[in-house]
Amino acid sequence: MVQAGAKPISLWAVLGEWAPDYTSVERQALTSVTRERGGLVAAMADYVFAQVEAGLVKAPSFGSAPAAAQSR
């Protein structure tokens, strides 16, 4: 396909095109895909989520954005 002119892109590029804003509902819907197929990024995300759930660190501000901010 590359020889025919296709440009390969990564999963992260696709996710960035589909949902570029971390506060969007679309990005939140893609979290399960990221955690399932993300490799090292998924492992890091799982680590952070475990730290938040254990109460060791605060959740990032983009994870708790108000609904009005999510529609931008």
Asked if 23 contacts 66 with a C-beta cutoff of 8 angstroms, the reply is no
Residue written as tokens 């680590």?
47
Residue written as tokens 């590029």?
13
Structure tokens given for 31:
């979290």
Mean pLDDT of 49-62: 82
* Structure letter (DSSP) for residue 66: -
Q: What is the tens place of the pLDDT at every residue in 3-49? A: 999 888 887 788 778 877 767 787 778 777 778 887 887 888 788 88
